[in-house]
Structure formats: structure tokens, C-alpha cells
Amino acid sequence: MRRPAIQWALAILITLTSAVWQRMSGPTYPVRGTVEVGGQSVRLRLDRSHSVSARQPVVVKAPDASLTGEVSWRRYPTQDPWQTLPLERHGDELRAELPPEPLPLMPRAGKLEYQVRLRRGGDEAVFPAVPAVTRFKGDVRAEILTPHILAMFVGMLLSTRAGLAAAFGGRLRLVTWVTLGLRVAGGLILGPVVQKYAFGAYWTGVPWGWDLTDNKTLVAALAWAFAAWRVGKGGAGARAAVGLAAVVTLVVFAIPHSVWGSEVKW
């Protein structure tokens, strides 16, 4: 484990695993499943995030013309009465759009909850059992979003690599300071700009809110600031501080992305 090549390989594996987990466990990952209706299996995929520049499509692959359906929806979180929208056939698909016209397009951070109801013969199936919640976001310019994602991903990789170096032996100063720089640039500078484009606010973590994405970014940055300070001072505590910062980063980034995120208060 002291060999740099082994530590890099392990850091890459841990980082990729963490990124996949965060993406798939988050509240914006599509809901997928299969329902049985009228003796037929139907696979569904419902999106839980969409751009404010268009209506969100609801699409069901349904080659069998005897399959019909509808979408029940309402604003979230509210106690509005449920509204029903028919799924219209377009070739081998049943399609609808949320919100339906002539309603206006959704605002940034506006949310809807919805379910699909399918029918074939006298049989009926509902998916998902708990309504899916979708959030609408503004479009973020690629020249801002791309460096933000790269900084966060590479920062996570270097954080893990630094933690392995602290645990099993290796140089710490350069990797610690670069990790801190990426945490600040990607999370505390570009991150708020991305959020402003997407949801209309630069920062919704403490002290102004409880957005876990903002808060966990702040915690990770503070942990690496402390680690950089300890590395600068030298001594036995430096390796412990870097190891702690790496563990803190792994823990906070295991929290699903966008939990307790921005939402319109209807």
C-alpha cells in the first residue's frame, strides 16, 4: 500500500464508487421499475429533474395499442387537489407533458409530484407507489458547469489519495494544498454560481438555510483548511489532520446530492 501506483488505483476506485453512489441515491435520479397490467409487463422511467425552459415529458414505452393511461399530478409540497392528464398515444409510446398547457412553465426550484396510472382491459396499475417528485432548474452555462464538475471530481480524487498517503505513507504538502484549492474553487466559488443559475440563489446553506449540498461542501472545505494549516506547521498531527479531512470528505459526499435542496414555497 506504500506504492504510489497502488494508492492512485485505489483512490480512483473509491472516487468512482462514491460518485456513482451519490448520483444514484440522490432525489433527482430517475425512478425506474416494472408494473404488471393486464398480463403484460411494462417498464417505466420517470424523471425527477428538468429544465425550466421546457415542459417535462412523461413517456411510457407501450407498443400494445390496448394499453392506455393517465398522469396524476400536483404542486409539491402542497395539499392541492390531484389533477389528471391523459397519456396520449404517439406510435409505440404514451406521452404527456408537465405542467400541461395552458399553465405557465415552472419557476426555478419549483416542484411537482406525479404518478402514472396504466390500464389494459379491466386491469390497472399505478407507478410509483409513492409519487415521484420532480424539481425544475434553470439552465447552467457549460463554461461554468464543466469546470465546477471537474473541480469537485478531481478534488474528491485528490482528497482520497491524500488520505491514503496519510494512512500508508507518502508526501502530503502538495496534494493537501491542491485539494483545498479545488474544494474552494469548485465548491465555494463555482458552486454558488451554478446554484444561482439553476435555482436563483447563490447560497442556501448555513446561516441562511439547510441545503445539505451547500452545508456538506462547507464542512469539507473547513476540514481541508484545517488539514492544510496542520501540514504547514508540520509535526505528527499533520498526517492525522489530512486523514481526518479525507474521511470527512468521504462521509459528507456519501450524502445524496441535492437533499434538502432549494424549493419554491408555494
pLDDT confidence of residue 236: 79
249 and 151 in a common domain = yes
178 and 89 in a common domain = no
Residues contacting 218, CB < 8 A, separation 6+ = 187, 188, 205, 206
- Residue 187 carries which side chain, given as an amino acid letter? G
pLDDT confidence of residue 256: 78
The answer to whether residue 159 is domain-embedded is: yes
In which region does residue 109 sit, left (phi positive, over 0), alpha (psi from -120 to 50) or beta (all else)? left
pLDDT confidence of residue 4: 85
Residues contacting 243, CB < 8 A, separation 6+ = 163, 166, 167
pLDDT, one tens digit per residue, over 205-264 is 888 888 888 999 999 999 999 999 999 988 879 999 999 999 999 998 888 777 777 889
> Three-class SS of residue 199?
helix
Range of the domain at 72: 38-137
- Name the least confident of 24-28, 67-71, 72-76, 81-85: 24-28
pLDDT confidence of residue 255: 83
Tell me the pTM: 0.89
123 and 168 in a common domain = no
pLDDT confidence of residue 32: 97
240 and 108 in a common domain = no
The answer to whether residue 183 is domain-embedded is: yes
Q: Which residue has the higher pLDDT, 254 or 78?
A: 78
pLDDT confidence of residue 26: 86
pLDDT confidence of residue 89: 96
The answer to whether residue 31 is domain-embedded is: no
pLDDT, one tens digit per residue, over 19-60 is 899 889 889 999 999 999 999 999 999 999 999 999 999 999
What value does the mean pLDDT take over residues 129-138? 97
pLDDT confidence of residue 123: 95
113 and 101 in a common domain = yes
